[in-house]
Chains A and B, each alone.
With several copies, the nearest count.
Chain A
């Protein structure tokens, strides 16, 4: 038996939508292939070699709307390079070292909206010919060497919504430099990663932004001085884990915010070593405040009430006790994030009691431990709909765990050890719960009653729990959750599945049983096989009889990869069905033979068996 693979290495573009959308990415091409239809509207030509764009380069593709030329070694763009492409709206030139842009480089596309010049070696705005860019909405100039944002007088402001200067080397901004931006409105201006040292006082005054991003700029005072009188929805002043933290944010600094109109403020990764009520004095109009990783140990109890604040991010800080966030100051909060707390977070008792409007609470990965979770801890959170307690230490659930949170829709306890003490379901009051994540929760045999009362449950993740004794999942378990559509039981050490285990689940659509010890592919345990997704990957299935397969009709998809499937005549029923139903197979590349040894590793699809009366003949077809 020999296995021969013929290669046809004439690389062709991939068709996404016939006659309209193509990708020629990384095919080593030096020109636009002739076979692309004239009607092509979307072309990804990234990672090829063009060197110079001339008027003939794209002349045949008159219907082009979007053109991606990322990293095509383009150095020269001559006049009229896009002159035939009057419908072109998007040109991406990321990663081409542009040595020359002709005045008429962008002549032709009269509605050019998006121009991406990231990492093109630009040193000044004047390098870009503006004459044909009047309709521009997005201009991306990130990761260049621009020192000054002196806009030329014909800079397109009419439709401009997004202007990105991130990671340039802009150090100074004068009022004159950006005066032209007064003609824009709702602009997103990104100056992230520029080491801005000087902004003229009030340079940004009377300009109306949607978002202003000075991320990673160390000297917040300088920026706030320049922003006096500015209006913006989002003000992003945060720093980053991989950047110098810069100077301490002082009370005085933040007073500059009193004269800036902003709804959302981000100050992540700055230092707040001395925090006081005064710190928040000018922040009372905020709707969203992000103080992720700002070295906070507490928020002062005497903060003036921030009545309009709806969303507060306090993740990656150093709180000891949940009460230290002084939640009473934020009575209208709907979203609260205290993830990845560096200390073991003590939830206390009623620390969030005043947050009666809180809908979303994230306390994940904060070393939370509770021996009587969580009625006292979450007292008063009657509006709570989404609770994340995943990646914590250990929760002991006695009786009803979330008594006051009866409106919970999503509950995530993944990777937190969950222990229940009595044979009544701790979640039995959560009649509205739709999604429950119990993966890696070490729940074991308590699965018998833990689903009690969850009649709305839609998605259940039980991955990584040990159900080694397969009998745990008897037909009573899932009878409690009749509306389940998605069930994850991967990596549960399941040796087999009881015949009636899933019988009550008439709406089941997606079942993941991968990474177990199953030896049989038993489709007959599901009551509805019309359009189901069954993942049996990484089990121990060798042979699948025909009747298990033929019932899989319609849009069903199965995954049998990484099973020790036999490619012998004992399994001819699978092999025959497989070839005829390749559209129902996921991961066919990894669905290979284990037996006979001569075929080990060969993909099932390429195996042709002739099983005669007495002899078995094996034929391998060659790939076209």
Chain B
């Protein structure tokens, strides 16, 4: 039975060696955004109708994933990587154990979650420069639900 115990270790190796492809999010003269999944288990599906919406505070997105773990509890954190430092910029609990605020709270392992439509947020000016933003969703057991690393090139 020795072989059984090797599995988690191997798993880790695959994580570090197999990368997901880089996807383009949007591109205009001022802004280029790419993303890459940082979830070892799967790629993430995401698109944005245009870059320009990002500065006006409303964009249309499509996003989809297959849950690898249930989301009775769900948290989101957004971190900015700048000059090698990780700066937390946003963090919120999206689903509470016994208080499902969002209709998809409580979905289980294996379910497909899809959102298509507008997303609005506080509009802000994207500073010039190249930086990375990591968006991570995880559940109450700290399992990664979605992990996405955005590369933003702003001119």
Contacts and interface: CB of A to CB of B under 8 A. Distances in A.
A–B proximity contact (CB within 8 A)? yes
Given A12-B4, A119-B111, A126-B116, A78 B23 contact: yes
B21 interface: yes
Contacts of A78: 21, 23, 43, 45
A10 B68 CA distance: 22
Interface stretch (B5-13, B79-87, B142-150): B5-13
Interface in B1-47: 1, 3-10, 12-14, 17, 21, 23-24, 41, 43, 45-47
Contacts of B46: 102
A126 B118 CA distance: 12
Contacts of A252: none
A173 B38 CA distance: 44
A15 B2 CA distance: 10
A241 B7 contact: no
A102 B66 contact: no
Nearest to B60: A103
A80 interface: yes
Majority secondary structure of chain A interface residues (helix, strand, loop or mixed): loop
Contacts of A192: 103
Interface string A278-313: 000000000000001100000000000000000000
Nearest to A25: B68
B62 interface: yes
A79 to B, nearest CB: 6
B62 A54 contact: no
Interface stretch (B94-102, B121-129, B132-140): B94-102
Contact of B109 (A18, A46, A101): A46
Contacts of B114: 99-100
Contacts of A129: 47, 62
B12 A7 contact: no
Contacts of A116: 108
A615 interface: no
Interface in A1-18: 5, 7-15, 18
A95 interface: yes
Interface in A229-282: 240-243, 268-269
A292 B12 CA distance: 42
A99 B13 contact: no
A7 B10 contact: yes
Majority secondary structure of chain B interface residues (helix, strand, loop or mixed): mixed
Contacts of A143: 111-112
A99 B63 CA distance: 10
B10 A8 contact: yes
A102 B7 contact: no
Contact of A14 (B4, B12, B101): B4
A119 B109 CA distance: 11
A71 interface: yes
Nearest to A240: B103
B6 A624 contact: yes
Contacts of B3: 10, 12
Given A14-B7, A104-B47, A71 B103 contact: no
B49 interface: yes
B110 A102 contact: no
A95 B66 contact: yes
Given A79-B47, A99-B45, A103-B49, A623 B9 contact: yes
Contacts of B62: 100-103, 129
A589 interface: yes
A242 B102 contact: yes
A67 to B, nearest CB: 13
B103 A11 contact: no
Contacts of B17: 7
Contacts of A76: 43, 45, 64
Contact of B10 (A11, A26, A292): A11
Contact of B21 (A12, A54, A71, A293): A54
A52 B37 CA distance: 14
A38 interface: no
Interface string B47-68: 1110000000000001010101
Contacts of B10: 7-9, 11
Given A11-B7, A46-B109, A118-B108, A5 B12 contact: no
Nearest to A44: B109
Contact of A13 (B7, B24, B43, B49): B7
A365 B48 CA distance: 32
A70 interface: yes
A193 interface: yes
26 contacts: A7-B10, A8-B10, A12-B3, A15-B5, A47-B68, A55-B21, A71-B110, A78-B23, A78-B43, A79-B23, A94-B108, A95-B112, A99-B114, A101-B62, A102-B23, A102-B45, A102-B62, A103-B47, A118-B108, A119-B110, A129-B47, A215-B100, A241-B102, A242-B103, A269-B101, A624-B6
Given A15-B1, A78-B21, 8 more contacts: A14-B8, A56-B21, A95-B66, A103-B62, A215-B103, A241-B102, A242-B103, A623-B9
